[in-house]
Amino acid sequence: MVLFAALSVIAVVARPVVNLHAGPDPGRDVVSQAIYGANVHTLERQPGWLKIRTADDYQGWAPADSLLPVERPYGSSECLVQVESLFASLYREPDVRKQAPLLTVPYETRLEVIRQQDERWIQVRLPDDRPAWVQRGDVTFDPRPLGIEESIALAKRFLGLPYFWGGASSFGFDCSGFTQMLYRRRGTGIPRDTGPQAAWEGFAPVERTELRPGDLIFFGDEPPKISHTGMYIGEGRFVHASTHERPVVQIGEVSDPHWTVRFACARRLK
């Protein structure tokens, strides 16, 4: 295991998904997540733990053995692919039948390309310098920004995946982690949590009667406290990661009494 002799400026996530905790203790709340291959800044150290800051300026504590110190940011090579399937398995060799996968990584994981062997297989370099193989159908070389209709189609791909408090990956999302991902795929970085999302200066207020597909809707049990969000998809419906009735990514109805009484505000990109 590589040890941190001192705090590194940059480290890279070496597990498929790493939970970020409110403190250096696995019993503390999960506040967010970082996915495989993500570069993070290390800020503070406690025995077995590192406090890190992610690319969206979020801070939390991660197990030290889930991170690798690196001399250069991972993903800084000229040729990269990004996982477009909900999950992608990485293999020791270009064959799914000979061995179990080395690991399975979530949607949006970026990987450094070594070479493309044929139409099916791409060889990649992992953050720990191991080579691995990924199937071409699981990744894209060109993760372009999506339009509103494309982002709605993307959101529906996640229906039924589990809700996870603090979740920010296809292994499990919370409500704001889900909307942050959807807007990131539209080419816009928004804050991580619901309250800051609703207050973000890049959004303009929208009346409930003027909702359009792609708008974000915010809810709260006690206005002005905001505790939930989802993306409006038209015809009175919105897609969200929620624990209401069942803890999954699901489609809700704005007119549902459960949500009507909790409706707080709506926002649209300026």
5 within domain boundaries: no
**Do 121 and 135 form a contact (C-beta atoms < 8 A)?**
yes
- At 169-191, the pLDDT tens digits run 999 999 999 999 999 999 999 99
Whether 21 is catalytic: no
**Which one of 21, 41, 79, 228 is the catalytic residue?**
228
Say whether pLDDT at 4 is over 80.
no
Q: Count CA within 13 A, CB hemisphere, residue 153.
A: 5
Say whether pLDDT at 210 is over 70.
yes
Say whether pLDDT at 1 is over 90.
no
**Which one of 175, 244, 258, 265 is the catalytic residue?**
175
pLDDT of residue 71: 85
pLDDT of residue 152: 98
Indicate whether 162 and 235 sit together in one domain: yes
Indicate the DSSP class of residue 242: E
Say whether pLDDT at 27 is over 50.
yes
223 within domain boundaries: yes
| Segment 195-204 mean pLDDT | 97
Indicate whether 131 and 198 sit together in one domain: no
Tell me the CATH number at 28: 2.30.30.40
Domain boundary among 140, 162, 180: 140
Q: Which of 109, 30, 34 is nearest to 68 (CA)?
A: 34
| Segment 46-71 mean pLDDT | 95
**Domain encompassing residue 49:** 11-69
Residues in the chain: 270
pLDDT of residue 224: 73
Indicate whether 112 and 59 sit together in one domain: no
Distance CA 134, CA 257 (A): 46
Distance CA 97, CA 91 (A): 10
Indicate whether 124 and 172 sit together in one domain: no
State how many domains the chain has: 3
Whether 240 is catalytic: yes
Indicate whether 154 and 241 sit together in one domain: yes
